[in-house]
Amino acid sequence: MAEKIMVGDLVAEFLQQVGVNTAFGVISVHNIPMLDGIGRRNAIRFVMARGEAGGGHMADAYARVSGNLGVLFTSTGPGAANACGALVEARFAGSSVLHITGQTATGNIDRAQGSVHDVYDQLGMLKSVSKAAYRVRSADSALGVLTQAATEALTPPTGPVSVEIPIDIQRTLIDRPPSLESLALPVPPPKPVPAAALEAMVEILAKAKRPMLWCGSGARHAGEAVKRLAEMGVGIVTSWAGRGVLSEDHPMTLGGNNGTNTPLVEKFYETVDVMVVAGSRLRGHETRDMTMPLPRRLIHIDVDPTANGRTYASELFVSADSKVALDALAERLTGRLKVEPGFPDEIKKLKAETMAAFKAGLGAYSTFPEQLRAALPRDAIFVRDITLSNSTWGHRLFPLYGPRDSVYPVGAAIGPGLHLGIGASLAAKGRKVVAMCGDGGFFLNISEIWTAVQEKADICFIVMNDKGYGVIKHIQDALYGGRHFFGDLHSPPLEKLTGISGIAFERVAKAEEFGSAVQRAVAVKGPSLVEVDMNAIGEFPRYFQPPPYAQKAKA
């Protein structure tokens, strides 16, 4: 006779079988059968977030750092809605997140009868913020739906996928599927390069004298090929999400100095005869809403065919896996690529001049990137929130050495940094994590600090504290006559907060003390916090440049 199990237990066993060992979320009335199954099996670490938004961002960062599936459990209705912002960010970042939520009993769905947690069209809400969303409509279909959802989350272009399972189905007994024993997700192999497209790319690049390669997060797994091309003389630059695909101490990479607020790089692009873009959307956030001039001859490689022409037109678009395509290019161009003499030296000089020019505009904070780098292990993971420091030196001057060393809100939302840091630390496998936040973003989600304490997360929080929304004030100065409405915050003293939570604390009131304070905090095993008193150190220099339409209006 077949063994009988509840669907809730099936969910727990399914996750274990596909290699999940950590999940995040909040327990609630409509997901207890699934979490009870996880608890009884005791094979998956369940991280008890204080809110669904926090759990969602943690699962996102876990996926980015580990390269594996991030898993989020939420309750139904309002609980699932609380996770929407995190799912939006995971979609921006292309994170493989499986979001599993409950649903009211099957007979009550979409009837507006006022059942607990029942909201109108929950599935539609989840579809709008996920790569895809599914409802389990019968107990016997649960395994198939879960398999499809997890596979889709891991299939490029990757992203978050949601599954809702009604509470009555979670409690239903079914025959344990024999296929669970040998279950493997049917993730398709990497998308190959069409032969004609490869020939066309090789033909163009073999004639190039000043070639550049722009790598996005979709090329993070292509590091070996990128390095081979760099050593042939191809200049490398990355999106901010693609940083570290080639170690940023390599002389041929400009890192995240991709032209945005780095005019020397933008001017240099005029001399580039061919640019290959691999696994990057060339996002408006990094190209001044697609007004930043790029080299005239563009080859665009992306696994997603809808990327063709979405932001920039290209001479040649190739829909393929970036690693497969770049591996093939490196192989075919060996011995054929004849880069202009002196071009590698120009890349090295450009990087030094660009970074020096950017550093010169940071005022009292000009030494912060060097101090922080010296205080951290080489393999440390650098997590940031949207702060003045992140948008300036965090993106451009702080060197990163690996493709999964960097986590930040790609969607430019304020507040996820604390959550992302915790998720990253639980995927870090002994690597130290530093999460740099502004005070506004940090206090937005302060309750999750107790998640870090409970999980003994090995993380150092750096709070750049200017007692307000510094980025907003810079925008208000540039565009709204310096009227700082609603930008000042009253927040509890961080030293007292860390005292309550038992977190090691350091305070920095002089710029030259920053690195040593971080070094002491990083030496602590478990959570620590460094507060940087920006009002004591000095005002952060203005970096916000009004967009072209605002400049024209002002003229």
Q: What residues form DSSP beta bridges with 141? A: none
Single out the residue in 330, 355, 380 at which a domain terminates.
355
Residue 345 and residue 259 in one domain: yes
The domain in which residue 319 lies consists of: 195-355
Single out the residue in 355, 379, 394 at which a domain terminates.
355
- Which CATH number characterizes residue 92's domain? 3.40.50.970
Q: Token pair for residue 50? A: 């204080």
- Within 10 angstroms of residue 107's Cβ, the number of other Cβ atoms is 10
Question: If we measure between CA atoms, which residue out of 51, 157, 49 comes closest to residue 426?
Answer: 49
> According to the model, what pLDDT value does residue 1 have?
67
Strands 97-103 and 161-166: parallel
Contact residues for 57 (Cβ-Cβ < 8 A; gap 6+): 86, 89, 416, 419, 420, 423
Domain-located, residue 168: yes
Domain-located, residue 82: yes
> According to the model, what pLDDT value does residue 290 have?
94
Convert the pLDDT of each residue in 443-500 to its tens digit. 998 999 999 999 999 999 999 999 988 888 888 888 888 899 998 888 889 999 999 9
Give the number of domains in the chain.
Answer: 3
Residue 32 and residue 108 in one domain: yes
Residue 373 and residue 336 in one domain: no
Residue 444 and residue 389 in one domain: yes
Given a contact cutoff of 8 angstroms between Cβ atoms, the answer to whether 160 and 116 are in contact is no
Segments of the chain with pLDDT less than 70: 1, 113-114, 543-555
Residue 379 and residue 301 in one domain: no
Residue 280 and residue 373 in one domain: no
Domain-located, residue 24: yes
Residue 483 and residue 510 in one domain: yes
Rounded to an integer, what distance in angstroms lies between the CA atom of residue 259 and that of residue 159?
27
Rounded to an integer, what distance in angstroms lies between the CA atom of residue 364 and that of residue 389?
12
Domain-located, residue 274: yes
Domain-located, residue 460: yes
- Which CATH number characterizes residue 234's domain? 3.40.50.1220
Single out the residue in 123, 141, 175 at which a domain terminates.
175
> According to the model, what pLDDT value does residue 98 have?
98
Residue 370 and residue 349 in one domain: no
Residue 281 and residue 382 in one domain: no
Residue 325 and residue 366 in one domain: no
Domain-located, residue 52: yes
Residue 102 and residue 42 in one domain: yes
The position carrying tokens 């969607």 is: 411
Residue 20 and residue 144 in one domain: yes
Domain-located, residue 187: no
Domain-located, residue 545: no
Given a contact cutoff of 8 angstroms between Cβ atoms, the answer to whether 527 and 453 are in contact is yes
